[in-house]
């Protein structure tokens, strides 16, 4: 990563941390909270989407949120690698969506590995679930509470456990 890129990223991180502190510690009307989240993400948050506070992100500008999304309180999005949330997704309280990892080798530990996360239409992420970097959660899939998802989840399936495994198919 170039020095210019690192400096720009750091500038955005610092700005967004101030915005997040304001968002999560002050009282806001719904329209004010939506405006702050729009500033954090750099995109207009649809009126049909509801984000319960507190809401956390480390970067913010690589989060894309579609229509009729519900994000419950205490959700954390590590988004430098990109997080896309399609229409009608439900995200339970305390879930983690992670698009950044670090190198396994000690000399590479401080280097970023960026892998986007994609949550497809009508998926449901349970409370305290963790979606790891590079994962695609398929359309209509359900991630059980507390699951740690390390691999792609096929559409119309339920996954649970650590690491998450398919436990059920969902009839359409």
Q: What is the domain partition of the chain in residue ranges?
A: 3-169
Query: Average pLDDT over the chain, rounded to whole?
Result: 94
* Residue 28 a catalytic site member: no
The 10s digit of each residue's pLDDT in 73-107 is 999 999 999 999 999 999 999 999 999 999 889 99
The 10s digit of each residue's pLDDT in 16-73 is 999 999 999 999 998 999 999 999 999 999 999 999 999 999 999 999 999 999 999 9
Active-site option among 6, 47, 102, 165: 102
CB 83 within 8 A of CB 117: yes
Fold of 3-169: UDP N-Acetylglucosamine Acyltransferase; domain 1 (2.160.10)
* Among the listed residues 161, 114, 172, the one whose alpha carbon sits nearest the alpha carbon of residue 138: 172
Burial class of residue 110 (count of CB atoms within 10 Å of its CB; 0-12, 13-18, 19+): exposed
Model pTM score:
0.93
- pLDDT > 70: percent of the chain: 98
Structure confidence at residue 109 (pLDDT): 87
User: Other CB atoms closer than 10 Å to residue 58's CB: what's the count?
Assistant: 18
Structure confidence at residue 5 (pLDDT): 79
């Amino acid at each position: 990563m170039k020095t210019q890129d690192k400096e720009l990223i750091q500038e955005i991180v610092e700005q967004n941390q101030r915005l997040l502190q304001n968002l999560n510690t002050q009282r806001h009307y719904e329209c004010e909270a939506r405006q702050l989240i729009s500033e954090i993400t750099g995109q207009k948050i649809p009126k049909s989407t509801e984000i319960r506070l507190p809401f956390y992100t480390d970067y913010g500008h690589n989060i894309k949120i579609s229509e009729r999304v519900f994000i419950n309180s205490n959700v954390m999005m590590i988004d430098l690698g990109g997080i896309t949330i399609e229409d009608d997704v439900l995200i339970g309280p305390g879930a983690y969506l992670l698009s950044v990892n670090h190198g396994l080798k000690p000399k590479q530990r401080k280097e970023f590995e960026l892998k986007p996360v994609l949550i497809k239409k009508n998926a449901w992420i349970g409370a305290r679930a963790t979606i790891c970097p590079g994962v695609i959660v398929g359309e209509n899939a359900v991630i059980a509470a507390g699951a740690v998802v390390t691999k792609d989840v096929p559409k119309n399936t339920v996954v649970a456990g650590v690491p998450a495994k398919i436990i059920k198919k969902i009839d359409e």
